[in-house]
Structure 1
Amino acid sequence: MKNFKILKYICFIYMHLFYVVVYTQQYEEMSFHELKSAIIHTEEHLNSIGKANGIRIIESIIDISEKFNSKQEYYLKGYSYNFLGKIHFSTKDHKEALKSYKIAELFIKELKDSPELTIDINNNIALVYINGFNKPRKALKRIKYIQDNFNDLNEKTQHLIALNLANVYIKTKDYNEAHHLLEKCEKYFISRRQYISELVTTYTSYGDYYHHKSKYNKAIKYYELAATIAENNQLFRQAMTIYKKYEYLLVKIGKEDKAYKILKKYTKHHQTALDIEKLEAEQYKKQLIVSEEKNTIETRKAKQSQTISIFTISLLLLCLIFFCFFIYNHRKTKVLGKSLTLRNKQLKIAKEKSDRLAEVKTKFISTVSHELRTPLYGVVGLSSILMERIKDEENHRFIKLMKFSADHLLNLINDVLQVSKMESYEIRLDKSLYNIKNLADDIKNSFEYQTEKNGNVLHLNFDSDIPNLLIGDSVRLSQIFINLISNANKFTKNGNIWLNFINPVITNNRVKITFEIKDDGRGIPIDKQEVIFEKFSQANSKDHTTGTGLGLHIVKNLVQLHGGDIKIKSAPGKGTTFYFSISFEIDLTNKTNNKLETAKNCITILNTKTYNILIVEDNKINQIVTQNILKTKGYYSEIASDGLIAIEMVKEKRYDLILMDLNMPNMGGMESTKMIRKFNHNVPIIALTASDTQDTVEAILHPDSGFNDFLRKPYKNEEFFRKIETNINGKISKAS
C-alpha cells in the first residue's frame, strides 16, 4: 500500500511537469521576434499583399504588441508606425506619413538604444519635409541631427544621407554644397555596382540640380542618363519618376513634341509596373496556398506528435510501476548520494585551497616583481649614466661588467615572471602597427656586442616580398627572436648565426612568414630535442652555460600564442635550425605615410624646445637615475616625492609630461593621477611600475585610470625616450 502511494505521487508529478512544458512551448511560439519578422515580411512583399492589407496587418501587430514588456512593446510600435509612414508616403499622403513617423519617434525615444531605427525615422521625416511640404530647412535640421549624433554609420547610410542633404541644398539654392555632395555620392555608388538604384537617384538629383540652375541641356543629359540606367536594370518605378520630371522640363522650355514622347514612355512604364505588381500578387497568392498546405501538414505532424507523447507517457508509467518493485535500491542510492556529497565537499575544499594558493602566488609574483626590479632600476640606470660619464678605460670596463651583470639578472627575473604569467593565462597578444623590417634590423644590431664576444657573426636574410608594415604584437615577436638568438650564441663559438625571414605567402590582407634561426654550432642530440622546450631543461647540462633553462619554453608558448608551431632540425656537430611560421595582418591603409610624416614633424618640434617633466617618485636613488637620464636629452625635470605633493605642484605650474610611480607613501600614483585629471585633462601621464602582473597592467590601461601610457622598471633608455616623445608629440598634435 505504501509503495502504491509513492507510485501515485510520482506519476502525478511527472504528468504535471509534462503538460506544463507542452503548454509553455505553445505560448512562447507567439514571440516578439516572430512579430518583428511579420513586419519585415509585410514590408518586403507590400506590392503583392496590397497597401490596404499591409496597413491592416501592421495595425493588428500594434494591438498585439501591448501584451509584451514595455521595451518590446515600444520597439514593435515604433517599427510599425515607421512602416505605416512609408506606406502613406508612397501614396503621396504626406500628412499621414509625417504623423506616423512622429508617433514612431516618440516610442523609439523611450528606448534610447535603437540607433538604426532612430536614423531611419529621422531620414524618413526629412524626405517628407523635402518632397511633401517643400520645407528644406526642417529637413536639413533632421539630417544634421543624424550626422551629429551617430558617428559609426556604415558607408552606404552615410552616402544616402549625403544624397538627401544634397536635395535639401538644391531646394535652398546652396548649389556649391549640393554639387560637392552629389560628386561624392556619384563616385561612391559607381564604385559599387550593387547600388544601381542609388546611382539612378544620384543622376536624377543631378538633373534637378541643373534644372534649378536653368542649365537645361545638362539637366536633360542627366535625366536621360538616369532613365537609361533605370530601364536597363528594370527599375520601372524610378524610370516613371524620372520621365515625369523630364516631361515637365521639356514643356517648360517649349519642346512639347519631345515632351509628348517622354509622356508616352512614362505611360508605358506605368503599365509595366502595374503588370509586375499584378504578377507579384498572383505569385504571392500561390505562396499563400503553399503556406496553407504546409500549415496543414504541420498540424497533422503535431497531432501525430501528441499521439506519440501519450504513448510515451503510458510507457513511462509502466516503467515507473516496474520500478516500484525494485524500490529497495533506494537505500543503496542514498548511501551513494552521501558518498558523492562527501566527495563534493572534499573537492570544494581542494578548490578553495587551490584558489588561495593561486592568489598567494599572484601576490608573491607582484611583490617579487616590485622588490627585485626597483633596486635593479637603480643599478641599471646608474651604471648606464656612469658609462657615459666615466672615460677612464679600466673603470669604464668595470662599470660595463656591472651593467652586463645587472642586465643578465634582469633577464633571469623576466624569464621566471614570464613563465608564471603563461601558467596563469595572463599573456594576451597586442595588435598594433609596426615595421617588421625595422624590427629585424634592430634585433640584429642589438646582438652585435654579444655575438662578437663569442667570435660569432649574425647574418640577417629578409625576403624583399615581405610587406614592411604589419599589425600584431612586435614585443612578443621580438622576445621569440631574442631568446632563440641568445640560445644560438650561447652554444656557438667562432661561427655563424642566421636570422631568416623567408617564404612569404600573401592571401588577401594577411601574410604567412616562415622564420628560421640557424647556427653552425655544436648541435643538439636527437634524444634531447623533445625535452629542450620543457621548463628548466638544457640540452648540454654539463656545460658551464648561464641561464634558467626557461628561454625555449617561453619561445614555444609565444609561438603557439601566435598560432604557430616551432620545430627543430639538428644533429651533433652540424648546427641547429629552429623554424616556425606565423600569419600576420597586413596594414593596407593609406594613412601610414601621413602618420609617419606627422610624427617626424612633431619630433622636429619636440627637439626645438626644452620640456619640463615632473618625476613623481619616492625612492631617492630612482629620482637621481631618472633625472640624470632625462638630462642626457636636454630635458628639464622636477621631483615630487609622493602623490599629494605632485597634485599641488601640477596645480601651481605647467608641466609637459608627468612620470608617475605607482607605489608611494601618503598617496599612490593611481589615486594621484585620478585627482590630477579632475582639473588637468591635457598633460600626458606615464605610469612607472616595477610590477608585472596582469591586474596592474589592466588597471593602468583602464579608460578611467587617467594614464596615457606605462613603462615597466627597469627599462631601456631607447624605450624610455620613445615613450616620452610619443606622448608629448600626441599632445602637440592635439593642440595644433
Structure 2
Amino acid sequence: MPTPIRHSIVITLLICCFNVYSQIGINTPKNSQVKDSIANYLRRASRSIEQAHLEKALENAIIAKELALQNQDKKYRASTNMVLAKLYRELGDLKKAEEQILNAIEIQNEDNNESGLACSYTIYGSIATKLQDYKTANQVLGKALDLSQKNNIENQIGPVKLNLGLLALESNQHQKAIDHFNSGLPSIETHEQHYFKAKLYSNKAKAQLALNQVEEALATNDLAMKIGKDKGYSEIRSTCFELYSLIYEKKKDYLTSLDNLKAHQKIKDSLFNINKEIIAQEAGAKLNLNENNVLIEELTEENIQQQKSLKLGRLTTILSIALITILSLLTLSLYKNNNLRARANELLQNKNTELILAKENAERASEAKVQFLSTITHELRTPLYAVTGLTHLLLEESPTPNQKEHLNSLKFSGEYLLSLINNILDLNKLEANKVEVENTSFNLKKRINDVLIALGKSAKDRNNNLHYEFDDSIPMKLKGDPLKVSQILINLIGNSIKFTQNGDIWIRVKSKQQIDNTVFLNFEIEDNGVGISEKKQQSIFENFTQGSVQINRKFGGTGLGLSIVKNLLSLMDSEIKLESKLGKGSKFLFDLKFEVFQDKSTDYVEEAKKIDYSVMIDKYVLIVEDNKINQLITRKILEKNKIKCDVADNGDIAVNKAKEDTFDLILMDIHMPGISGIEATKQIREFDTEIPIIALTAVTLDDNLDEFYDSGFNDIIPKPYKTEEFFTKLHKALVKKQATT
C-alpha cells in the first residue's frame, strides 16, 4: 500500500476515534480536582517520554489537553502544549513540535508567566537545535537562562546548560560543549534530575570521543548507561550502546564494537521504534482539533443514548479498517527488519573474517616470541656459562687481593646477566599462565631473614639500614610457596635499596587475622628514597617501565621486577598497592594467606643434604659438549674434585664411546652438530639402561621436562649453574647407581 494512502487511512481512523472519544465525553471533576487531574496526566506523559513509552505519553497528553480545553484553563493549555512539543520532538516531527511550543510561549507571554517561559524557551532551544537553526537556539536558550536566574528557578538552570552543550556539540564546538555540560551537572545532581543527568553524560561522552579522549569517553558513557538501566530510559541505553560501538571501534576491539552495535539495533528494532511513524500520525490526528470549537452545551440523556448507538456502529467499522492497516504496517515492518538483519549479518561475517586473521597473526606472533626467547636464552647462557665457570675456577686458584676484587666484579656481572635472563623468562611464563603455585611447609621468618642476608651487601654498599619487624604472633611453620614469596621480596626490597641512598628501609610483616587453619598476613616494604610521581604510579608495574629515562640512566635496571611482582601476586590471589610521594620515599603493601602447618615437633630445621665428595673420587665421567671452552670448564671443575674425565665433541662420538668404554656417569649437552643430545641418549639407552645420564644444557627447560625424562635422562642441570647444585645432582646420581649395583 503506498505511504500517502496508508497515512490517510490511519489519520481518518484516528480522527474518527477521537471524535467518538470526545463526543462520549469524560467524567470531569470540578475546579481544583480538575487541575490536579491535568497536572497528574502531564506528569505521567513527561515520565513516559523520558522512558520512551510514547504511546502512553500520547494517551495522557490527549486527556490533559481535553480537560484543559473544557475548563478553559490557559496555564494548563500552555503546559499541555509544552509536553506535546517534547512528544513531537521525540517522534521526529520537528515542525509540529515547533508549532506546539510557540503556542505555549504565546499563552505564557499573555499571562506574563516567566517561570513557564523559562521552561518553554529551553524546550524551544532543543527543537531549534535539531532543526539546525542555531541562531534561534542560542537566542532562546539565552532567554531561558536569564529568566531562570532572575526568578531563582534553580531546577531549570541545569537543563538550560545541558541544551547549550547540545547546541555546541551540534556546532562541532566539542570543548565548549564539555564546559557547558560540566557547568550544568551540579544543578542537575542537586535536584536529582536523573533523565537530564543521563542525557548529559551520554552527550559529554560524544564530545570526548570527538576530541579523541577515548578512555574518558568510555568512563563517562558508563555513567550514562548505569542511569539508563536503573531508571528504564530505553533511548539513553540505545544511545550508549551506539556510542560504545564507536569507542571500541576506535580501540580496534571490533568484536565488542559489533556486540554493542547489535544491542543498539535491538532496542531500535523494538515495537516503539517500528511504530514511531504511526504514533506521530496518531498524535496529529487526535490533536488536529479546533480548540475554539469545543462542545460545551449539555446534551439530554436521550441524545446521548442515540449518539452512543450511532458511534458504536461507526466504531465497529473503524476497528475493521484499523486491523487491516495494522496488518499492512506489520508486513512493512517485517520487510524492513529483514533488510536490517541482512546488513547486520554481512557486517558480522566481515568482522569474523577480520577476527580470524587477527587471531592467526596473534598466534604466529606468539610462536615467534616463544622461539625467539628459547633461541636467545640458549645463545646467552652458553657464553655466560664460560664467564661464571672460569670465574669460579680462577677464584679457587688463590688469586691476589687485586685479582680477587676484579674476579668478584666479574662474578657479580655474570650473576646480574643471569638474573636478567631469568626475569625475562619468568615474565614470559607468567603471561602464558605456565607458572603453578606450590604448597610446601616453610619457616617464613627465616625465609625473609635469608633474603635480607642476601641483599645485605647491596644495602651496605649504598649506606642503607634495613629494619626487620616480624609479628611474633605469626605461626612459625606455614604452608605455601616459599620460592615465590622470596622472589617477591627480593624484587621489592632490591628495588627499595636501588632507589635509596644513605637512608632506611623497613620490612614489616603483620598478622591481620587467623580463621581456623588459615592465617592472613600483611607485608609492607617502605623506604625514604627518591619516591615515585603520581603520574608514573599507574604505569610503574608495566613491563620494561621505570619512572623516567633519567632514572634508568642513574639507577640502571630493566623495569621487569615490579611487573613480575604484580603477576606473582595475581597468581597468589593478591594485588600490590603503592603509596609514594616524589622525594619522600615509597611504601609497597600486599596481603597473602597461608595455611598453618600442623606438626608436633617444636623446632623447625631446614635440612640440607651434605655432599660426600669421597663418593666421587676416581669416578669416570664422559663430558659430551661441542663447545671447547665449556669442555675445558666442566673438565677442570670435575678434575679439581679428583674425578676422571673423557670428552666427546658430538652425539655420534658419545654413543661410540659409551659402547667401547665403561663410564660411571655421562654429562650430555643437547644442541650439538650431528645428532642432538636427546637422540644420543635414546641410542645409548638401547644398549645401556643403567648408566646415569644428566642433561647439562643451556636450553629453556620449562616446556621440555617430560621430553627429557621420556628420552632417558636421569636429571637435568641448566647452564650456567651453581657448583653446589652441580655436585649435589652428581652425588645423588652416583650414590643411586652405587646402591643399585
**TM-score, normalization: structure 2?**
0.49
